[in-house]
Chain A
Amino acid sequence: MEIPYTVEQRPDTGLANGKLGIWLFLASEVMLFGALFSTYILLRVGAIEWPHGELSVKLGAINTVILICSSVTMVVAWAKLKLNDFAKGRLYVIVTVVLAAVFLVNKYFEYAEHFAKGEGPWHSTFFAIYFTLTGLHGLHIVGGIVVMLYLAGPGAGLWKRNPEQYTNRVEYTGLYWHFVDLVWIFLFPVLYLL
């Protein structure tokens, strides 16, 4: 059975179904992270004192740079596919996966250092919300890596059968990835600097 409107636009919305679908999914993600940011504000406003300098600004800044670069490579991957350059498009998706993996390795070292000092989520309200927010964000990074690996690996065969649909899939994955980057852009100052 062929799924309709994977490439062509629906006459009522003017969009392919996947495009509207990914945006509705991102809307639900805004609410998920919004609830946690709201929790952070409540905890911080209610706290008698809030710790400063508990996290490594250097590692946080490096991870910000990595995610920004990965956002650029992801959107360039889509642009290369639009130019019918499959090899470069796939290469940029793979570069994005590598950058995402480096982000997680950095996060691992950061977490390991805190756990070694006994600063787990049980240590304080600050560390509880820090691990909750960055842990959930890290899970989103893992999810993005899985999808991008599929697109660069077994899912790449779709390019031969239906290049436009493949390009759309990369675009939707990119939209998700930019959202993950966008969340980190707010997490970095809120947790590491303020």
Chain B
Amino acid sequence: MQSDPEAIRKSIRTYGIVGGLLLVFTAITVGVNQFHLAVPLAITVALIIATTKGSMVAAIFMHLSHEKKWIYGALLLTVVFFIVLLFVPLATVSDTIGTPTHVAAPAEGH
């Protein structure tokens, strides 16, 4: 983290510019929504813009563009667990525990 006063003054200007860009991206997100795109395309566009905005917040406001390796390590681990978490619902589809694998034919004569 910088402590040089001039560098900090410069970073305040950067925060203002990034804030302005985030507002522009928000306007684009709402504007694109007016075109009533097909759902898969709308989801793709909206998530690309949201990811761009999120990256800007993380990199500039949260200073992740120049952090220590311990923090990158902790975040890398978080990303790995987050991806695993996103795929946990798949287990509800592939889980066959308790589901009969074959059904016995009904006995005759009863």
Contact = CB atoms under 8 A, between A and B. Distances in A.
A6 B30 CA distance: 43
A194 B49 CA distance: 13
Given A79-B15, A178-B57, A42 B89 contact: yes
Given A42-B89, A194-B46, A185 B54 contact: yes
Contacts of A82: 3, 8
A118 interface: no
Interface string A17-52: 001100110010011001101110110000000000
Interface residues of A, number: 44
A69 B39 contact: no
B81 A182 contact: no
B26 A64 contact: yes
Interface in B76-99: 77-78, 81-82, 85-86, 88-89, 92
Contacts of B5: 83
Contact of A31 (B12, B29, B50, B85): B85
Contacts of A178: 57-58, 61-62
Contact of A38 (B15, B69, B89): B89
A186 B82 CA distance: 15
B57 A182 contact: yes
Interface string B40-73: 0011001101100110011001100000111100
Interface string A112-136: 0000000000000000000000000
Interface residues of B, number: 44
B49 A189 contact: yes
Contacts of B19: 68-69, 71-72
Nearest to B30: A61
Contacts of B43: 194
A139 B18 CA distance: 26
A31 B82 contact: yes
A41 B89 contact: yes
| 3 interchain residue pairs of minimum CB distance | A72-B19, A189-B46, A27-B78
Interface of B: 3, 5, 8-9, 11-12, 15-16, 18-19, 22-23, 26, 29-30, 33, 39, 42-43, 46-47, 49-50, 53-54, 57-58, 61-62, 68-71, 74-75, 77-78, 81-82, 85-86, 88-89, 92
